[in-house]
Amino acid sequence: MLYLLPPGVCNLLNPAAIYANNEISLGDVEIYGFDYDYTLAQYSNLLHSMIFNTARDILIEQFKYPEGLGKYDYIPGFAIRGLHYDVQKSLLMKIDAFHYVQLGTAYRGLKPVPDEEVIELYGGTQHIPLYQMSDFYGKGPSLKQFMDIFSLPEMTLLSSVIDYFINHGIEFDQVHLYKDISDAIRDVHVKGVMYKWIEKDMEQYILHGDEIYAVLNRLVNHKKKLFLITNSPFSFVDKGMKHMVGKNWRDLFDMVIVQADKPNFFTDRRKPFRKLDDKGSLQWDKINQLEKGKIYKEGNLFDFLRLTGWRGSKVLYFGDHLYSDLADLMLRHGWRTGAIVPELETEIRIINTEQYMHSLTWQQALTGLLERMQMYQDAESKQVLLEWMKERQEIRSLTKNLFNPQFGSIFRTFHNPTYFSRRLVRFSDIYMASISCLLNYDVNFTFYPRRTPLQHEAPLWMDQLCTGCMKTPFLEEMVHIR
């Protein structure tokens, strides 16, 4: 017998909650580390349009791309984080945890590629072989994974340029085009253009600054040590932190490291630390100790560990980039890690809608019917099964479109976790929409991951028709947080 759960039962997810992949007690954490961009400093989406427009103009003015590209504007909501781009095939697509392309989410330019063509391009399958997928940092021989939030304008620009070339019958070399666009986007960052925009109008671009002060101040009041490791330059970080935290922000931190060159900071022993004076000018003296209140540039994690003694699970580091910020720290050095995933807030609000719950509940019901009734092979039953399969596919597409019409949720394909989700679980102990979520928890709080059934354990659990309806203690109380 099938039981359809009322939508209200599932409306329990809290966008301001912290979610655990691994059990972790904050009481055991003595040292908190932070990235800066999109971790301490959350930026407005207005920044994406500025990055897109500037990189587009660089392509036209410096790389001599067609002036007709100037008619393309940034498309908010076109792309999502975690997508893969096949350079040789000019395909932007979403791939699941098992290396399968989610059909309906492959785009060449701004137009979807038919499922049949995608399958043909990959030799009659949706599967991408492991050797093509990526190395440890999301870069394979022919596939690039876009993992940071700054990559949203890059993906949109890439798709826009390809769209223009296809529509105008212009032949192009896929490798050169990809590199040109990557270089144009990089120039926006490296040449400091983006920093100048933010510095000119921090009220417009920086979000939740007052909450960042509250988080840091509370940690210091509870005798926690704080440090900052960022790839951004000191002058930019200094202005942003003064805006969010106040002119004495450096008093809160035991260590501040700028222009760290992550992820190389975590893997390369060659670059020594350099000290900056209060004005940000480089000093030349050899660094034998890291002093509280001082600013350091470059360096490497091995010297950092040697000079501080901050090792293992007493350190919790927060960042938004799963590869550059978190992977090495968790897997090679045993630090605890927290991933900042701003998209989580929007996705949870969608999950909590009645439309999503109705769609998911009926989708699960149809799946259960198909599984149970597939042994009936008479003509009438086959027709009913075909209708159910068609309806299930329509509902899956509808559910996907609730998150993003082109690519769906960053966390799921139709039913499998995405490749992004797989990395999120692998490289982070906890994840949350913003650092301010820490304000909802006691500094000694222990996060316990929910025990979810492995497939062979499923019969021991209720036959869930709504994937979010695990009977978890205290969940109703969590709704009222913030």
pLDDT category at 136 given cuts 50, 70, 90 is low
Question: Token pair for residue 11?
Answer: 């409306």
Extents of the domains making up the chain: 25-44+203-342, 46-199, 347-429+449-470
117, with CB counted inside 10 A (0-12, 13-18, 19+), is middle
Phi and psi dihedrals of 264, rounded to 5?
-60, -30
Strands 295-298 and 255-258: parallel
| Residue written as token pair 């960022």 | 230
Q: What is the CATH number of domain 25-44+203-342?
A: 3.40.50.1000
Closest CA to 340 of 133, 92, 81: 81
357, with CB counted inside 10 A (0-12, 13-18, 19+), is buried
Using CA atoms, how far residue 50 sits from 144, 188, 450, in Å, is 23, 9, 40
Bridge partners of 206, per DSSP, are 43
Active site residue 37: yes
Preceding omega of 449 cis (within 30 degrees of 0)? no
Rg (CA), the chain: 24
Residue 285 annotated in ligand binding: no
pLDDT tens string 413-464: 988 999 999 999 999 999 999 999 999 999 999 999 988 878 887 665 544 4
What is d(CA 21, CA 429) in angstroms, rounded to the nearest whole number?
Answer: 5
| Residue written as token pair 């701003």 | 342
Tell me: pLDDT of 11 over 60: no
The mean pLDDT of 316-335, rounded to a whole number, is 89
**What is the model's pTM?**
0.89
pLDDT tens string 86-123: 999 999 999 999 999 999 999 999 999 999 999 999 99
Residue 325 annotated in ligand binding: no
142 or 414: which carries more pLDDT confidence?
A: 414
Phi and psi dihedrals of 165, rounded to 5?
-65, -45
User: Residue 456 in 3-state DSSP?
Assistant: helix
Phi and psi dihedrals of 25, rounded to 5?
-105, 120
The mean pLDDT of 311-319, rounded to a whole number, is 94
- CB burial string 440-462: b at 16+ within 10 A, e below: eeeeeeebeeeeeeeeeeeeeee
pLDDT category at 279 given cuts 50, 70, 90 is confident
Active site residue 35: yes
Residue 320 annotated in ligand binding: yes
What is d(CA 131, CA 439) in angstroms, rounded to the nearest whole number?
Answer: 42
Bridge partners of 131, per DSSP, are none
User: Residue 276 in 3-state DSSP?
Assistant: strand
Closest CA to 234 of 289, 295, 189: 295
Q: What is the pLDDT of the chain when averaged over all its residues?
A: 89
Options 35, 86, 180, 254, the catalytic residue: 35
Start-to-end Cα distance in the chain: 39
Chain centre to alpha carbon of residue 340:
7
CB count within 10 Å of CB 468 equals: 17
* Stated length of the chain: 482
In single-letter form, the type of residue at position 391 comes to: E
